[in-house]
Chain A
Amino acid sequence: MSQIGVDQWVEQSDERRQDYQGWTAPARRLFDKLAPGGRLALFLLVAAAYPFFVRGSDVRVGITILLLAMVALGLNVVVGWAGLLDLGYVAFYGFGAYFYAIVASNQLPAHWPTWIAIPVIVAASALLGALLSLPSRRLVGDYLAIMTLFFAQVFVELVRNFERLPFVSDDLNLTGGPNGIPGVFPWELFGFSFNTFHRNYYLALAFVGLLIIGLHNLNDSRTGRAWRALREDTLAAEHMTTPVNRLKMLAFAVGAGIAGLTGTLFAAVQVGVFPNNFNLFFLITMYAAVILGGSGSIPGVVLGAIAIAYTPELLRDPGKAGWLFYIGLVVLLVVVVRRWERIAATVGGVIVFGFIVRVVASGIWDEATMGEANDTFISRLIDDWVLVLGAQSDVITNYAFVLAVVGMLTVVVASGWWKIAALIPTIYLAVLVWENKLAFQPSITRQLLFGGVLVVMMAVRPQGLLGTKRVEII
């Protein structure tokens, strides 16, 4: 009788999960072998060594990465664990930053010591988060998302328009309006001023380390379990003695507190705050970090933050950006086509296609090849193949861009050789747009990339790079 009910499916699924597949397998297996503490130690070691190996200005990049990691870890509590889609999160970050800027600059005649300012700001942010959670008692899913998004909008409106509080003395300038608050003082603790990039870098790194440990502990506690339970099934969680509303409030408060803390650091590092620091763009950047790495996973979120914050730095240098673009193109080709003979056919096709276009185009219109190639290795290499436009380059690249997007979408739906047929002009057009326009527009490229990554990620791997696959019953 002992065999009855023993369930083969589970046995098999166990076998299935025994090993990772594909080219990432060795790295993932190694990653699994490290205990959480080991992983953290490794990360901290590498991160602590980073400033010694880079130029001084690159330390700033490091700070950007660490700040994004901090704020994304907080967002992960709300979204990844408690499953509350909070689109107003960026406002808490802004709240912390503005609060610190107001009490630690010449904006008001009030300069609070850091050791008082920080705890007060963190507590105030958490309180604000708890207040925002009140509507979430009645709203679920999409409605909560939209309500919080409006909150974020209201925050930006307020700081931009209400530089003077209504009904208060006219001399009081609180937020600086559209001009923001310049000249924010650095953190100062025990007579030690965090007035260099290096010092702030290590301060941020210390916070990231503490946050990772604290959140790891919290995730493995009754509170963390209750958050995940209410994410999985709010009704069932309620029946299992979980006070759902209180825990939602707690998640909002913890997330907001972390965001507020990060904001103070941000204001100090940037030596100022401006309304545009806290717009939708930054909100999406945070979400991209959490989702790319793997919503719910602490290492995933940190990895996501590194990837997302480092991308613009890579894009800024046209030489590096070129490499990134072409390597990306090759990876995409391999992933989309898979079979080597077809890959070869595609590459050959693209090359031939390019020369034909060039011959035809320069035959009928001289300007088509008159432009200056970018001064990078790859661009010079393909200068005689791709069209580098002289005149009218904006109009033509616009059309090329639209066609390239349409081509991409066609590639997604086409199959077999049709896919290759669509891929050839698409790749050529993509290269053309890159060489003529995108390479000089790193910020737009980054925005296109983030948007595209979110869409593709949801369709292909909604759990993110390091997240575990999720099942949801709808």
Chain B
Amino acid sequence: MEFFLQQTVNGLTLGSVYALIALGYSMVYGILKLLNFAHGEVYMFGAFAGYGVLTILGGSSALVVPVWLAIMLMFGAAMIVSAAIGVALERFAYRPLRNSTRIAPLISAIGASFFLQAAALLMFTANSRSYNTPSLIAIETGIPLGPIRVWMVRVLVIVTAFVLMILLTLWVNRSRTGKAVRAVSFDREAAAMMGIDVDKVIVVTFLIGSALAGIGGVMVGLVFGRIFHLMGFVAGLKAFTAAVVGGIGSIPGAMLGGLLIGFAEAYTTGYISSTFQNLIVFGLLIVVLLVRPSGLLGRPELVKV
């Protein structure tokens, strides 16, 4: 029971991070029908931006500001850096190709992902960095949950992720721009006929999706400590899996998918073996794609003949 609860909390933590990254994939796919392969790198830069702020503030053991402020600033920096990269990607790697062949934006995305990875390698070297969370947030603090204690940092991650997801849902459902995002996703031409500035809406989508990924990056740094220049690739793949499992293009789908993948991974690691972890996740994706190609909450795409 204790062990099961522990794994559940692990899964919830991991799942909420995957969900945050998956949202960016899903939103961009919904609006552009484009797989933003470089999204994992956006997330990786977010993690490094958070690390940069932490270093400027004196490092985890010698902070010059209160812990809560430091974490806020880290999230803020990650959001700004990731959003800037995301918007630049849209403007320079994808927008020129909007009327091009189907394969071109995909190749461009792979190229951009590769470029960003190399840039990170150049700037941060191949060494991994550590957030050193235990000295940032005392490891003993935690919330009792039945027989186990849930670390503060995990609580922070889970709560933040859920707050963000609720905020995003509200934004998409309530705000004028959020509604425009949905309108453009469903029918770009009809949206243009309403006078909606489609370009602007697309930029906003990239901005928000990337900022969420940036926050996800800092969260991973806080929970797992280690960040490195290749972290974006595998996390990106898993977040993408989450988006597809949930139904790509669907925002609740991305959240659901993220949590599912998180749980799958945690339970596999806990009860079978960590070697199988990635294989199980990929297997899950393949099964979902074969059985329900449009994902759990997705709608099938129509092809006009």
Contacts and interface: CB of A to CB of B under 8 A. Distances in A.
B118 A472 contact: no
B122 A444 contact: yes
A458 B107 CA distance: 7
Interface string B102-143: 111111101111111111011100000000000000000000
Nearest to A452: B115
Contacts of A447: 114-115, 117-118, 121
Contacts of B97: 458-459
Interface residues of B, number: 46
Given A153-B278, A458-B107, A474 B122 contact: no
Contact of A458 (B100, B279, B286, B305): B100
A146 interface: yes
Nearest to B95: A459
A437 B122 contact: yes
A409 B240 contact: no
Contacts of A153: 237, 278, 282
A455 B119 contact: no
Interface stretch (A136-144, A191-199, A201-209): A136-144
Contacts of B115: 447-448, 451-452, 455
B293 interface: yes
Contacts of B105: 458
B111 A450 contact: yes
Contact of A451 (B113, B237, B244, B282): B113
Contacts of A459: 93, 96-97, 108
Interface in B212-249: 233, 237, 240-241, 244
Q: Among B91, B115, B285, B290, which residue has the most Cβ atoms of chain A within 10 A?
A: B115
Given A438-B122, A448-B122, A453 B282 contact: no
A405 B85 CA distance: 11
Contacts of B118: 444, 447-448, 451
Nearest to B281: A150
A451 B111 contact: yes
Main secondary structure of the interface of A (DSSP, over half): helix
A471 B107 CA distance: 17
A92 interface: no
A150 B282 contact: yes
Contact of A154 (B116, B282, B289): B282
A454 B240 CA distance: 22
A142 B103 CA distance: 8
Main secondary structure of the interface of B (DSSP, over half): helix
A304 to B, nearest CB: 13
B182 to A, nearest CB: 21
Interface in A265-307: 280, 284, 287, 291
Give the contact-size bracket for chain A.
Answer: 35 or more
Contact of A441 (B107, B117, B122): B122
A85 B102 CA distance: 10
B57 interface: no
Nearest to B290: A135
Given A150-B282, A287-B107, A138 B293 contact: yes
B99 A454 contact: no
Nearest to A138: B293
Contacts of B100: 458, 462, 472
Contacts of A409: 88, 91-92
12 contacts: A139-B289, A142-B106, A147-B286, A147-B289, A150-B282, A280-B233, A401-B123, A451-B113, A451-B116, A454-B114, A462-B101, A474-B99
Given A146-B240, A450-B114, A474-B102, 16 more contacts: A138-B293, A142-B33, A142-B106, A147-B289, A150-B285, A154-B278, A154-B282, A158-B279, A161-B275, A438-B122, A450-B111, A451-B113, A451-B117, A455-B92, A472-B100, A474-B101
Interface of A: 83, 85, 135, 138-139, 141-143, 145-147, 149-150, 153-154, 157-158, 161-162, 235, 280, 284, 287, 291, 398, 401-402, 405, 409, 412-413, 437-438, 441, 444, 447-448, 450-455, 457-459, 462, 470, 472, 474
